[in-house]
Amino acid sequence: MAKILVIGALGQLGSELTQALCEKYGKEAVIATDIRHPEIKPAFPFAILDVMDKEALRKLVQKEGIQQIFHLAAILSAKGEKNPQLAWNLNMTSLLNVLDIARENNIKKVFWPSSIAVFGPSTPKDNTPQTTIMDPNTVYGISKLAGERWCEYYYEKFGVDVRSIRYPGIISYKAQPGGGTTDYAIDIFIQALTTGKYECFLEADARLPMMYIDDAVRGTIELMDADADNLTVRSGYNLGAMSFTPEEIASEVMAHLENFEITYEPDFRQQIAASWPSSVDDSSARDDWKWDHAYDLGKLCEVMLKGMRELLENQSM
Ligand code: SER
């Protein structure tokens, strides 16, 4: 059975993607890894792996007979600005390790996440095209753009079947996000349900592309399942679902919790948000592998409030 390796399996995307892969292929087919120990025993086979240790990665791949790798470990945009060297080093070296090991061991497919952070201040903001000006000005965005180039390079030169998505902000409640600019759209739900107030670190009108985690997980699996002949993009696919501003999500939250209050205290993350698209043109994904999103802002708020409420209740029990 195809053995699937997930790197960064305890992260926001990793934890739910690993779960979905186990449901689809069976637990025995998946090996989940992370640099940190899980807080509770995971429901899938788990090993500690530092992806910066190429030899350890090689050994694991060979020992387990790995045929697919999902490499999700990264330092995100806001956290990356606090330590640019570390973010560059981790994001780039880990990807190059994975690509090299994939090439050396004839791994069938590799998934690596890119981001809307590959775009920058000169990129057209609305309905940002798949191919356009890219001048990212965060270390995270620079590493994602360079990473996309490396993915395409390994595909073209060495035939490594690498696939990638430029994720928008991913919204979920089960696992913590990793220090991104779009995290406000998760914090807002926690604060709405606990204190009833939220101080937003972006401006009221900072419109960004966003996606509910279930769409992100399903899209990832659909891209990995797609026939290689249908894929025209080997850098990273633009992938859209919804776009909203802090003001818009706040008023949707208020429709459920009428006393909720939001205030705005923009910090350095506002500048990052201002350099990113407000919406993306994802027609390549829609044409090549029939991408379609299921969650809009209304549905997102319903599912987030319900899920987060249950989570908070369980925590306080
Ligand atoms: N959600 C990510 C971030 O804000 C974007 O890829 O860093």
Q: Is 140 in the active site? A: yes
Candidate list 140, 154, 212, 295, residue with the active-site label: 140
Mean pLDDT of 285-291: 98
pLDDT at position 175 is 87
What fold does the segment set 3-170+212-238 form as a domain? Rossmann fold (3.40.50)
pLDDT at position 259 is 96
Distance (Å, whole) CA 167 – CA 220:
10
Residue nearest to atom 3 of ligand 1 (CA): 180
Are 233 and 284 contacting, i.e. CB atoms less than 8 angstroms apart? yes
Atom of ligand 1 nearest to the CA of 77: 7
> For the chain, what are the domain ranges?
3-170+212-238, 171-209+242-278+295-316
pLDDT at position 1 is 63
Mean pLDDT of 201-229: 98
Same fold: 3-170+212-238 with 171-209+242-278+295-316: no
Distance (Å, whole) CA 73 – CA 78:
15
Among the listed ranges 108-112, 172-176, 269-273, which one has the minimum average pLDDT value?
172-176
Q: Is the pLDDT of residue 2 over 80?
A: no
Is residue 20 exposed (0-12), middle (13-18) or buried (19+ Cβ within 10 Å)?
middle
208 CA to middle of ligand 1, Å? Answer: 10
Instruction: Evaluate: CB of 208 within 6 angstroms of ligand 1.
Output: no
What are 205's two structure tokens?
A: 């009108």
Instruction: Evaluate: CB of 167 within 6 angstroms of ligand 1.
Output: yes
Sign of CA dihedral 294, 76, 145, 101: negative
**Selection from 299, 147, 168, 298 nearest residue 235 by Cα:** 147
Confidence of residue 178 (pLDDT cuts 50, 70, 90): confident
181 CA to middle of ligand 1, Å? Answer: 5
Are 89 and 139 contacting, i.e. CB atoms less than 8 angstroms apart? no
Is residue 43 exposed (0-12), middle (13-18) or buried (19+ Cβ within 10 Å)?
exposed
Instruction: Evaluate: CB of 143 within 6 angstroms of ligand 1.
Output: no
pLDDT at position 297 is 98
Instruction: Evaluate: CB of 180 within 6 angstroms of ligand 1.
Output: yes
What fold does the segment set 171-209+242-278+295-316 form as a domain? UDP-galactose 4-epimerase; domain 1 (3.90.25)
Q: Is the pLDDT of residue 162 over 90?
A: yes
Q: What is the mean pLDDT of the chain?
A: 97
Distances (CA, A) of 60 to 63, 90, 278: 5, 19, 40
Q: What is the pTM of this model?
A: 0.97
Instruction: Evaluate: CB of 206 within 6 angstroms of ligand 1.
Output: no
Mean pLDDT of 298-312: 97
Distance (Å, whole) CA 216 – CA 198:
26
**Selection from 265, 270, 263 nearest residue 192 by Cα:** 263
User: H or E segment at 16?
Assistant: helix 12-25
